[in-house]
Amino acid sequence: MNTREILLQIGQVLTVLLLAPLLQGIIHQFEERVQRGQGPGIFQPYRDLWKLFHKQIVVPETASWLFWVPPIVAFTCMLTVPILIPVLTDFPLPLSDMGDILGGGLILTLGSFLIILAGLDTSSAYGGIGSSRAVMVSILAEPTLILVFVGITLLAKAMIPFVVNHLLVASWPAYFSPAHLFLVAAFFILLLVETDRMPIHSSTHIEVYMIEEGRILEYSGPLLALLKWASAMKQFILYAIFCNVLVLPWALSLKGTAIGALGAAAGLIVKFTLVGCVVVFVETAQSRLRFYRYQEPLAASFLLAILAIIGTQIF
Amino acid sequence: MLIQHLSPLASSLFSLEAIATLLLSFVMLGSRWLKNYLYAFAAESWIIAMLSATAAFFGGYPELYGIAALTFFFRGIVLPLLLWRIIRRLEVDREIHAVLQPSSSIVVGALFVVFALAVAFRVAERLNVELPITVLALTVMLSMTLIGFLILSVRHEAMSQVLGLLVLENGIQIGTQILVPGMPLLLELVILFDLLVVVACFGVLVRYLEIHAGTTSILALKRLVG
Per-residue pLDDT of A172-189, as tens digits, reads 777 877 788 889 999 999
User: Would you call B33 helix, strand, or coil by DSSP?
Assistant: strand
Q: Using pLDDT thresholds of 50, 70 and 90, give the confidence band for residue B172.
A: confident
B94 SS3 class: strand
Q: Residue A47 — very low, low, confident or very high, per pLDDT cuts 50/70/90?
A: very high
pLDDT at A301 over 70: yes
Task: Please give the pLDDT value at position B226.
Answer: 57
Average pLDDT over residues A67-79: 94
When pLDDT is cut at 50, 70 and 90, the band that residue B150 belongs to is very high
Chain A residues with CB under 8 Å of B109 CB are: 303
At residue B33 the predicted structure's pLDDT band, cuts being 50, 70 and 90, is confident
Query: Which of A173, A299, A310 lies nearest to residue B107, judging by beta carbons?
Result: A299
Confidence of residue B209 (pLDDT cuts 50, 70, 90): confident
pLDDT value of residue B132: 78
CB pair distance less than 8 Å for B102 and A296: yes
Chain A CB contacts of B30 below 8 Å: 296, 299-300
Please tell me the pTM assigned to this model.
Answer: 0.87
CA nearest A296 in B: which residue?
A: B103
More confidently predicted of B162 and A77: A77
What is the average per-residue pLDDT within A205-219? 83
Domain residue limits, chain A: 3-314
Residue A303: its chain B contacts at CB < 8 A?
26, 106-107, 109-110
**Selected residue with higher pLDDT from A26 and A311:** A26
Contacts of B97 (CB under 8 A, 6+ apart): B156, B217, B219
pLDDT tens sequence across A125-154: 888 999 999 999 999 898 999 999 999 999
DSSP 8-state class, residue B97: S
Which residues does chain A have within 8 Å of residue B107's beta carbon, measured at their own beta carbons?
A: 299, 302-303
Query: Going by C-beta distance under 8 Å and a sequence separation of 6 or more, which residues neighbour residue A36?
Result: none
Average pLDDT over residues B187-210: 84
Rounded to two decimals, the ipTM of the complex is: 0.77
* A176 CB within 8 Å of a chain B CB: yes
**Is a pLDDT exceeding 60 seen at residue A284?**
yes
How many CA atoms lie within 13 Å of B57's alpha carbon, on the beta-carbon side? 13
Residue from B26, B160, B183 nearest B103 by CA: B26
Residue B180, pLDDT above cutoff 70: yes
Please tell me the predicted confidence (pLDDT) of residue B225.
65
pLDDT band for B56, please (50, 70, 90 cuts): confident
Higher-pLDDT residue of B174 and B224 is B174
Q: Which residues contact B85 (CB under 8 A, 6 or more apart)?
A: none
**Residue B100: band (very low, low, confident or very high) from pLDDT cuts 50, 70, 90:** confident
Give the residue from chain B lying closest to A305, CA to CA. Answer: B110
Closest residue in chain A to residue B131, using alpha carbons only? A314
Inter-residue contact A247 to A240 (CB < 8 Å) = no
SS (H, E, C) chain A: CCHHHHHHHHHHHHHHHHHHHHHHHHHHHHHHHHCCCCCCCCCHHHHHHHHHHCCCCCCCCCCCHHHCHHHHHHHHHHHHHHHHCCCCECCCCCCHHHCCHHHHHHHHHHHHHHHHHHHHHCCCHHHHHHHHHHHHHHHHHHHHHHHHHHHHHHHHCCCCHHHHHHHHHHCHHHHCCHHHHHHHHHHHHHHHHHCCCCCCCCCCCCCCCCCHHHHCCCCCHHHHHHHHHHHHHHHHHHHHHHHHHHHCCCCCECCCCHHHHHHHHHHHHHHHHHHHHHHHHHHHHCCCCCHHHCHHHHHHHHHHHHHHHHHHHHC
**CB contact, 8 Å: A306 with chain B?**
yes
What's the average model confidence in pLDDT over A17-42? 92
Is B158:B216 a contact under the CB 8 Å cutoff? Answer: yes
A51 CB burial (10 A radius; 0-12, 13-18, 19+): exposed
